[in-house]
Each structure stands twice: as structure tokens, then as C-alpha cells.
Amino acid sequence: MDINISAVAEAVLKAIEKSATTEGDIPVGISNRHIHLSQEHLEILFGKGYELTSMKELSQPGQYACNELLTIVGTSLRPIENVRVLGPVRSASQVEISRTDSFLLKVKPPVRESGKIGGSAPITIIGPKGIVSLKEGCIIANRHIHMSLEDGKRFGVKDNEYVTIDAIGERKTRFFDVQVRVSDQFRLEMHLDTDDANAAGLKNCSRVSIVK
Amino acid sequence: MDINISAVAEAVLKAIEKSATTEGDIPVGISNRHIHLSQEHLEILFGKGYELTSMKELSQPGQYACNELLTIVGTSLRPIENVRVLGPVRSASQVEISRTDSFLLKVKPPVRESGKIGGSAPITIIGPKGIVSLKEGCIIANRHIHMSLEDGKRFGVKDNEYVTIDAIGERKTRFFDVQVRVSDQFRLEMHLDTDDANAAGLKNCSRVSIVK
């Protein structure tokens, strides 16, 4: 019997979305601290010719959590271990942490859209084969929503528009200035870091709503 | 020359409040994880006849941060060290943590008003002379504002009323269901835990506003 794996995955995802008990129509994806690497830095950290290995696919098509884990360290010299690498490799390395992490590390990352790392904070990444000291690349990710072209129409929002979001978790919270990213490469999901998620009491099965 | 220390302290506090750059008229006090102890538990943890020693006064009259630090541990068996005790002693011991802490400890504290610990989460406190395993007492503090009778009148709110608060930090955030506590024993201050503060990018010098 032939099984269409991606159709099954799609059905399971939809079932999970439907079973969520929180109010709202946008599923939440909580981003823990993570690292994106350039191929050059990947090879410094893991050795020449090294390639990322996928542990599991993420909700956004083509993105995956890797088996590779690294240690990050800032000016406090207190390391955070087991920070997961996300694939695929990018043109520039980037370390996304929460403000809570930033106090432990003693780094001062700006709140930024992923990829906009110009002038962001320095941080050091320690791997099994080498160390990379980024002069810039450490950010706190901005609040953002990924959505397909179809969902963009449904919600009446355009790529790069900013919206307000209500999260009715254990502590009701409104998030302002949430960037919307619309693309045929995206699947509907609001990305929050652990500070935002824990403030509001949201989980990965939670759902939130656009206020305007 | 006689110096009126409390008048000087008052003036410094007011100057600090005025120098804050964030919008809003209510100063923020960020609560890190901390412990309140009964005299009985204090003596189990530190020895018979032990008394708390004050490191510094807190903004609420009569409350102080103690020199005493303890270790807390939950079902993960991963301890959090150096958790500060706040004085004076209370009739029941209580451990206030953030949701971020709760994941590390593997405890499931409810969001509660301080003192309402019935049916809250169990947690173990480790001291230099003994250990206390609380069957209940671990909570995530609710969002709340302390204010004087005078401030209650100024803001038009009563004791135990709930208000909505806007925080214009690096990530603008609205906090719903914020309990107001009005008493002649209180000084104007909104208490947030580190998750709420870090989500919004608030510091101890930040100020917030009542929306309604």
C-alpha cells in the first residue's frame, strides 16, 4: 500500500490545530533559543565538509531542527549549553535568544526581524571542532506571524504589515507590533519567544487572535 | 548636622521615578523568584532560634530582602540555587517563581495572589541546617499593583479591583487582569515577574499606565 506521508502529516497537523483548546484562530509556535549557521561557520564548529543533519521538520516548509547542539557564551562567561541549530544553512550566522537568556549571558541583543543582524550584539559559539566569535548576529526575535497567501487574504493583511494580537492564556496578554510575513512558502503560525509565551501562559497548542 | 534619612530616601526615590524614561505613571518593580518563610520553617532551614537578617528594604513599607539564600528543587531534581528570602516571616511559607523557572524545576504552580496558597504546587526548600518539603506553597504571582489610599483616589480604583495595564517597553505589551491592592501600608508600584518584564522589555526604572 502506498502512503502519502505529507498528506498524513498535513491531516495530523490539522487535527492537532483543531484539538487546541485556547481561543483564537492562529496557532502558536514557541521558539526556544536557537542558532542559524552559515556553511563557513558550520565547518569551523563541526569540521571541514560537515553537513547539518535533520532531527525533525519544523512547521515552516523547508525548515528543520538539527541534531547539532552548540554552546553559546557572552561577556558573563556563563555558558548556555545544548542550543539547537536550525537548518538549512543561511548566508549569515544568527543566534536568537530571549531577554531572560541575555541577562545570564550578559549580552545586549536588539529586538529584530530574523536576518536583520547589522549592528546586533556580539556572541561566541562553541562547537566540538572550533569556536566562532560573531561580531554581530545575536538578536531577540521580534513577534511575528507566518502565513500563506490564502491566509493573508482571509485575515485581510499584507506582507510586512504589523498587527495587534490577543492571547488568552492563563494570564491574558495583548502583543502589539506583531509583524506579518505572507508568502507561499509559509504556513499559518505566530512565533513567540519563551519570554512572551511564559508571560501569557501559552503552549505550542495555544491559539491567538488578530485584534486589528 | 541632623540628617533625616527617610526624607532623603523619599527624595531619592522620587528623583529616580522622575528620571525614568518609559511612558506611564506607575513605577514597575520586577520580582525575581523568592521565598517567604514561616518562623517554624526558618528554624528548620537555618537552625533553632534563627532570625532573618535584612540586606535591604524593599519599596513596600516593612518588607525587606534578606541576606538568606536557599535552594529550591522540584520533580526534575534540577535545583535553582541562591533564591532570596524576603522578610518579615509570615504565617505560611510560600515560594514564588516564574513559569520559566517552573519548566526547569518541573513543578506546576497556579497563577495566584500572594498568600492564597491552598492547593498550590508542592516544592522542596533546602537550607544549610535542614530541608522543608512544602505540600503546597509554590505559585506564580499574579500581576498586581500596590498603591496608597491617596493613589487609589487619584486613579479612581478600589482595593481588589482589576485593571488593564499598557507597558510601552521595547516590545509594547498590554497586561489584562491586573489586581489593584489599595492600603495605607502600600507605596505605588506594579509588581511583575521576570517573564512579564522580559516579554515587554521592562526594567525596574520603567513606568506603566492604567488603560481602564
Q: What is the pLDDT of residues B46-66, one digit of tens each?
A: 999 999 999 999 999 999 999
pLDDT at B22: 45
Comparing CB atoms, the residue among A103, A142, A198 nearest residue B98 is: A198
pLDDT at B20: 41
pTM flag (> 0.90): no
Residue B211 predicted with pLDDT over 70 = yes
What mean pLDDT is predicted for residues B22-48?
A: 93
Which residues, in sequence order, are CB contacts of A139 under 8 Å at separation 6+?
A94, A95, A96, A97, A109, A110, A111, A112, A114, A116, A117, A120, A121
pLDDT at B19: 44
Helices (H), ranges, B33-176: 39-46, 99-105, 149-155
CA-nearest residue of chain A to B193?
Answer: A199
Question: How far, CA to CA in Å, does A176 sit from each of A30, A180, B23, B170, B173?
Answer: 17, 12, 16, 11, 6
In a mutational test of the A interface, the residue from B107, B171, B174, B209 whose CB has the highest number of chain A CBs within 10 Å is: B171
Is the minimum CB–CB distance between B78 and chain A shorter than 8 Å? Answer: no
pLDDT at B134: 98
Structural Rg of chain B based on CA atoms: 18
Cell of A126: 562553541
B153: left (phi over 0), alpha (psi -120 to 50) or beta: alpha
Q: pLDDT below 50 — which residues of chain A?
A: 17-22
Min CA distance, B191 vs chain A (Å)?
13
pLDDT at A24: 77
Give the residue from A118, A14, A106, A9 showing the smallest Cα distance to A57. Answer: A9
Q: What is the pLDDT of residues A151-184, one digit of tens each?
A: 999 999 999 999 999 999 889 999 999 999 999 9
List CB contacts (< 8 A) between B142 and chain A.
Answer: 171
Q: What is the pLDDT of residues A185-201, one digit of tens each?
A: 999 999 999 999 999 99
With contact defined as beta carbons under 8 Å apart, do B210 and B164 qualify?
Answer: yes
List CB contacts (< 8 A) between B198 and chain A.
Answer: 98-100, 103, 195, 199
Is the minimum CB–CB distance between A32 and chain B shorter than 8 Å? Answer: no
d(CA A166, CA A170): 12
Q: B173–A171: do the CB atoms touch at under 8 Å?
A: no
Three-class DSSP labels, chain A: CCCCHHHHHHHHHHHHHHHCCCCCCEEEEEECCEEEEEHHHHHHHHCCCCCCCEEEECCCCCCEEEEEEEEEECCCCCCEEEEEEEEEEECCCEEECCHHHHHHHCCCCCEECCCCCCCCEEEEEECCCCEEEEEEEEEEECCEEEECHHHHHHHCCCCCCEEEEEECCCCCEEEEEEEEEECCCCCCEEEEEHHHHHHHCCCCCCEEEECC
Comparing CB atoms, the residue among B100, B111, B176 nearest residue A194 is: B100
Cell of B191: 509588581
